Chains A and B, each alone.
Chain A
Amino acid sequence: MEQHQRKNEVLPGTLNLMVLKTLSTLGSLHGYGIARRIEQISGNLLQLNQGTIYPALLSLEQMGWISSKWGVSENNRRAKYYSITRAGRKQLAAEEENWRRTSEIMVRFLDPSEEGA
């Protein structure tokens, strides 16, 4: 219960960025892997309904930033593997830059004495 209260909601728009970053670091990955990775990186601080990743994956694919292919997982299970496209990398770079600037501004705003995140 206490733990749940400390968890953060996923900010709108950030899930796409997290998916793209994950795929760009780890290469081809299935939906479960992506969800796990996001949870791990966020140090389990993020309240993520794993299922919400699928509509996000579909819209990313529709925008042409990722592509998908059916494959077989490490323990022989059929799964859809997603990988980032060239357009996706471009989009990622732009959004990363954008986020970095936004968070920098937010940090300065909230705590002018401290630097970094």
Chain B
Amino acid sequence: MTRLRIFFHRLLGLFLRSKLERELEEEIRSHLEMQIEDNLRQGMSPEDARRAARLRFGGVEQVKEAYRDKGRLGWIESLWQDLRYAIRTLFRNPVFSVVVLLTLAIGIGSTTAIFSVVHALLLKPLPYPDSDRLVRLVVTQPLGPPGQSSTGGPQRVPGGISVRELAELRSRMRSVSTIGVYNVARMTMTGGGEASRLEGMVISASIWQAIGARPLLGRVFDATEDAPEADPVIVLSNRAWKRFFQGDPGVIGRNIVLGGGHYTVIGVMPEEFTFANLQSEFWIHIGRSPSAAGAFLARLSDGVSLQTASAEVNTILRELRPQARTATFELSREQDEIVGPVRRPVLILMAAVAFVLLIACVNVANLLLARSVARQREVAIRIALGAGRGRLMQQYLAEGAVLSLAGGAGGVVLAYGGVRLFRSLASTLSRTDLEGRLPFPRIEEVGINADVLAFALCLSIGVSLLFGLLPVLSRLAGNQIQALKDGIGIDRANSGSRWRFGSRSALLVAEVALAMMLLVGAGLLIRSFLKLSSVDAGYDPSNVLTFQLVLPGGRYPVPQLKESAENLVAILEKSPGVEAAAYSVQLPMVGFRERALFRTTPAIPEQPAPGAPDEDLRLVSRDYFKAMGIRIKEGRAFNEQDRAGQPRVLLINESLARREFPGRSPIGETAYLRRDPTPWQIIGVVQDVRQFAFDRTAEPQVFVDFRQWPGVNPIGDVPNYFAVRTKGDPLSMVPAVRNAVHAIDPQVGLYNVVTMEQIVAHTISRPRLYAALLGIFATVSVTLAGIGIYGLTAYSVVRRTREIGIRMALGATASHVRNLVIRQSIWLVAAGIIIGCAGAAALTRFLQGLLFGVEPFDALTLLSVVVLFLFVAAVASYVPARRASRVDPMVSLRCE
């Protein structure tokens, strides 16, 4: 304790040094004056009084020295000196310092930015208490539906349960403490003005308990809400509360009309609360109907393992679902499932960025080594004068610390930019209806926080230790006498034709190899992304505006719905700038599907098991093919005659035609759909459309004109999606479209107004992000490697100036010297490239799942990367080589 206090005082004294000394001087002065006064009073002469006072005080300088010693902190003070010295050195070589700091900032900054992603997605628990106990149900089908995945292996999908099964599971399961069910709900809110569409959740009351949510106002559901006679109640999100009630604290008990039903507000959630997605604005009860179903969420009981719980749920659900004989049910941590699809890519990005950091470090290490060689004489003299190894090491550590902490600070600034870039690349449309849903889970949680800053600090400290020790190790191993001799010109190292900086060459080879691996990875991802985005999807997404409608609930019975949708399309088609307008139950990339049960005989089939091969039913309007740019391969499209009451006609796609009518034309054939005995006639075949994703092959599809469809829209209350093909920029048509809609009914609202291109971009945003980030990393590392090659070559040219001079004096030509220099670095780069290729061959298999249309071992990518690298190396070494060839032999021989 006392020692700590002394330490603290002395530390303080370090900064107050001059103040302390001034104070001591003043004290001594007043001390002497008081003594002189006393002496005078005793009758001494002024001369004697002064002399006696000084005698009694003793040596003033000794006192000061003793005083200083007490106030001193040996190593801290010398460290302080070293730090100031290091900072001065930095300012003395501004170019060197800027290159080093920028390199470090890039390395530390990009690593920090990616770490913030890893932290938010993989390390931080979900924002619910004990979220690692939250589990969801996962169903594994031994064989996926054909065409759904490229591999066709077992398919693992999130499993749902019905309210009936929920009751059964609740009474029988012991391994979980709370079980709930939830589902997405899209409902129309009415009451004054334009109707608005709200995303929300229907949930069982137990969900609140499972996620341990606390409301900001009022309460959440309790067991009374599960009772059959319970009143309809609603819990609002903070956003909805502010939007619709202006944040009124008296909102509890107010009424909301949602989907035509009346709900009483019982609670408002805090701002940071989300469940189960960011878009959810409300939570209502799932209802008592036993067939209502949704996703399964439960909390593991204390001390129960995931395996035990999985086994229990598998036994019970297999018993409850005898028809699903082949499926396996298991429980999986919610946390793992949410980030499941991006886990590996994020880890790959982290590995890639670690490569960038390593390359940056190697570059800086090389620069420092170069400088330390230049400082050899200074060091030798210091050692000769008695500087201990510890003292030298301390000086290097101080320099390393100054460099890497400054670089780290720059890195944090860069990381802020990096996180911004990542978020803008990763966040796309905020929609839940598109295939793949949110391309990046938890992206809103990614940011620079205390943990991330601590990581950056640790990184900087680690790097500073590395740099501090590097020159020490290389130096202390060397012979100091030799260093002194170097200084006075007895320099064997410089006169040999051998390159005597093995460690620097090794570092360069390593750097090139690392950059090669990154470049190969980035090349593969970029090629794969280019292939993906140039896939012929079967439709033309350019110049198409899509939107959805919100209808005031209850006012539109089904027949009128069809009619008003037809009306709207007719008005839109007549608008200037519109080439075609259509509506459809689903658009490409929308994640809903509907079974067609297509067959050529009237016999009504059994409902196939989930996952069995099936055709996708599309209910569309007359001009859908024209609006989406889908080509008719055979026969004709729908026309005005194909309306209700006319002979029923349909179109099929090429896949279905190949499957059902191999080798002959399907035109004029009869077909049956669903459980309907009335026949349909096939009038055309359309091109295959990649319906669900660019990287999934087309599935068999059936197209029916909605006017002829006997039932209601099987998916929603409206023909869900409208698409307008425009002549110019589709977004410029938005006001015209809005006017057309309001001309029919001013209370109808528009939402999800986006272009088809935006939807496509959304679905490929993940591969785009990976390709972009890895591309950036690869560019940075190639640039760094180029700087490294340049630095090493330039340095070697300087060291060999004398040798080159001798060669030229003996008759070597400029081109000879140039080749000599370039050849040397090309050899190093070639070694790096070979090692890099081997490394890439070993590592690219981790990219397997992220590639589309490209094999992990892609000769074209590899070849172009090698060529690119050789080019960079040639340019980077040409500049110093040219300088070498201009050496004037006379000057070079005289120098030093």
Contacts and interface: CB of A to CB of B under 8 A. Distances in A.
A31 B27 contact: yes
Contacts of A78: 26, 30
Interface in B1-45: 2, 5-6, 9-10, 23-24, 26-28, 30-31, 33-35, 37-38
A50 B26 contact: no
Nearest to B34: A32
Contacts of B70: 55, 58-59, 62
A63 B2 contact: yes
Nearest to B2: A63
Contacts of B2: 63-64
Contacts of B5: 62-64
Contact of B34 (A55, A63, A77, A80): A77
A32 B71 contact: no
A51 B57 contact: yes
Contacts of A14: none
A50 B6 contact: no
A30 interface: yes
Given A62-B6, A63-B2, A50 B56 contact: yes
A63 B35 CA distance: 28
Contact of A54 (B28, B33, B35): B28
A49 B63 CA distance: 10
B44 to A, nearest CB: 16
A58 B37 contact: no
Contact of B37 (A31, A52, A75, A79): A75
Contact of B27 (A52, A62, A63, A80): A80
A103 interface: no
A1 B464 CA distance: 63
B149 to A, nearest CB: 73
A58 B9 CA distance: 10
Contacts of A63: 2, 5-6
Contacts of B57: 49-51
A42 interface: no
A58 B59 contact: no
B809 interface: no
Interface residues of A toward B: which range? 20 to 34
A32 B31 contact: yes
Contacts, number: 74
B663 interface: no
B99 interface: no
A98 interface: no
Contacts of A8: none
Interface in B548-588: none
Nearest to A39: B56
B871 interface: no
B62 interface: yes
A79 B34 CA distance: 10
Interface string A43-72: 000000111101100110111100000000
Given A51-B62, A62-B5, A62-B6, A77 B33 contact: yes
Nearest to A65: B2
Nearest to A58: B70
Contacts of A36: 38
B476 interface: no
B178 to A, nearest CB: 57
Contacts of B27: 30-31, 54, 79-80
A73 B38 CA distance: 14
A31 B25 CA distance: 12
Contact of A79 (B30, B35, B67): B30
Contact of B23 (A51, A55, A80): A80
B30 A30 contact: yes
B478 interface: no
B23 A73 contact: no
Contacts of B62: 51
Contacts of B10: 62
Contacts of B33: 77
A65 B869 CA distance: 70
Contacts of B28: 51, 54
B67 A54 contact: yes
B498 to A, nearest CB: 58
A26 to B, nearest CB: 15
A79 B32 CA distance: 11
Given A30-B30, A62-B5, A79-B27, A55 B37 contact: no
Nearest to A34: B31
A79 to B, nearest CB: 5
Given A49-B58, A78-B26, A79-B27, A58 B71 contact: yes
A62 B9 contact: yes
Given A50-B58, A54-B66, 19 more contacts: A31-B31, A49-B56, A51-B57, A51-B58, A51-B63, A54-B24, A54-B27, A54-B28, A55-B63, A55-B70, A59-B6, A59-B70, A62-B6, A64-B2, A64-B5, A77-B34, A79-B31, A79-B34, A80-B23
15 contacts: A32-B30, A36-B38, A49-B58, A50-B58, A51-B28, A51-B60, A54-B24, A58-B71, A61-B9, A62-B10, A62-B70, A63-B5, A64-B5, A79-B27, A79-B34
Closest 5 CB pairs of A and B: A49-B58, A51-B63, A55-B66, A51-B58, A62-B9
Interface of A: 30-32, 35-36, 49-52, 54-55, 58-59, 61-64, 73, 75, 77-80
